[in-house]
């Protein structure tokens, strides 16, 4: 019999040997996977090259990306100016165009003839491609107008009561983006709490009805405050027609995912948002948080319940997308690398 000391050493040696072997096997598996991905990329490139030569296809990445159009039909007081300023800061460096959709009196609903003009402009204005269009306009389905290409929609939403409070004070005191500009309700010193308590029109539950119609679109029912049909249409559009919808409270994550998905437009956006002096400075001035009593009174409204249901739906969808796009390490978020590749590509290239 071996002494206990030697038995222990033998067990430890065996354990270390097994760990070493497992580590080497893992390294071999990783090397094999990298080799397979390299071979697959090479085969895909050869197949594309052969097809492009045979059929005369233009497979240049720039030819495809430079035809891209993004529409950001921004909801008021959701950090939309802060985000749009990032696009303006990046457009020269990343070589794309930014265009503001300025509607008369900020009316989000276009006339039928303007809808047709807008779709035609966006679809055929080649000099403005790639293009980033932004403005306070309701969603438009380009396929309805016979357009060949369809833009990619993005947007940001905010807690309905927080958005309304911000808008209420913005109309009275403005913000630090253009502090000298006279606002429509300038001089009205009534607080949001006092407005709700007295039943004022600027803080009525109907004023909460904005995010749903912006996503619902140009149907008459979209603008019927409290419509459940509008809610379901807005949900369907958010899921099916928007590339990504972020939330104001998690704007940096929204920007990070856009940069990963659309680097042609947003390369450098995350760093700019974190360090830039101009892009995210806009804040409504003189804003006072509402009391619990004021919030509770608004939450009794059916309109709030439906708008909040839409916000919670958008938040859940955003968090789902984020969970599959980024990971957290040492308190920092980072974007996941590509996790798929192609293999078993036939017919083989000679």
Domain ranges across the chain: 69-335
The C-alpha atoms of residue 160 and residue 208 are separated, in whole angstroms, by: 6
Closest CA to 81 of 93, 89, 70, 92: 89
Catalytic residues: 134, 136
> Could you tell me the fold of the domain covering 69-335?
Rossmann fold (3.40.50)
Rg (CA), the chain: 27
Residues 6+ apart with CB under 8 A from 220: none
Q: Any idea what the Cα angle at residue 316 is, between residues 313 and 322, rounded to 5°?
A: 140
List the pLDDT tens digit at each of the 350 positions of the chain. 557 766 777 777 887 888 888 888 877 777 776 666 665 555 545 544 554 444 443 444 444 568 999 999 999 999 999 999 999 999 999 999 999 999 998 999 999 999 999 999 999 999 999 999 999 999 999 999 988 889 999 999 999 999 999 999 988 877 655 555 544 555 578 999 999 999 999 999 999 999 999 999 999 999 999 999 999 999 999 999 999 999 999 999 999 999 999 999 999 999 999 987 654 455 665 678 999 999 999 999 999 999 999 999 999 999 999 999 988 787 777 888 888 999 999 998 76
Task: Identify the residue whose tokens are 């035809």.
Answer: 67
Measured distance CA(153)–CA(145) in Å, rounded: 16
Rounded distance between C-alpha atoms, residue 91 and residue 265, angstroms: 7
Gap between the Cα atoms of 124 and 288, Å rounded: 46
Cα separation, 169 vs 273, in Å, equals 25
Q: Judge if pTM exceeds 0.85.
A: no
């Amino acid at each position: 019999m071996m002494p206990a000391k030697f038995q222990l050493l033998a067990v430890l040696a065996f354990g270390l040997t097994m760990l070493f072997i497992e580590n080497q096997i893992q390294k071999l598996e990783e090397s094999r996977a990298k080799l397979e991905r390299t071979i697959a990329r090479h085969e895909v490139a050869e197949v594309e090259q052969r097809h492009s030569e045979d059929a005369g296809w233009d497979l240049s990445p720039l030819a495809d990306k430079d035809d891209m159009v993004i529409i950001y039909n921004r909801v008021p007081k959701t950090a939309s100016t802060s985000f749009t300023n990032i696009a303006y800061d990046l457009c020269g460096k990343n070589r794309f165009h930014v265009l503001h959709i300025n509607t008369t009196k900020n009316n989000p609903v276009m006339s039928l003839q303007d809808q047709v003009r807008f779709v035609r402009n966006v679809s055929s204005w080649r000099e403005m491609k790639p293009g980033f269009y932004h403005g306070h306009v309701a969603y438009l389905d380009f396929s309805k107008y016979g357009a060949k290409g369809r833009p990619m929609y993005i947007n940001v939403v905010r807690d309905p009561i927080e958005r309304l409070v911000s808008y209420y004070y913005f109309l009275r005191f403005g913000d630090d983006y253009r502090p000298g500009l006279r606002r429509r309700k300038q001089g009205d010193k009534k607080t949001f709490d006092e407005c709700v308590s007295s039943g004022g029109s600027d803080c009525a539950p109907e004023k909460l009805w904005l995010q749903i119609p912006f996503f619902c679109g140009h149907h008459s029912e979209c603008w019927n405050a409290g419509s459940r049909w509008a809610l379901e249409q807005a949900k369907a559009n958010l899921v099916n027609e928007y590339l990504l919808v972020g939330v104001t409270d998690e704007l940096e994550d929204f920007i990070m995912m856009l940069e990963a998905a659309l680097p042609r437009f947003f390369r450098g956006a995350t760093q700019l948002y974190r360090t830039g002096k101009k892009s995210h400075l806009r804040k409504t001035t003189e804003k006072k948080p509402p009391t619990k009593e004021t919030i509770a009174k608004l939450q009794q409204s059916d309109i709030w319940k439906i708008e909040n249901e839409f916000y919670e739906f958008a938040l859940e969808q955003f968090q789902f997308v984020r969970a599959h796009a980024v990971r957290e390490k040492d308190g920092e978020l980072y974007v996941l690398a590509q996790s798929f590749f192609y293999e078993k590509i036939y017919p083989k290239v000679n």
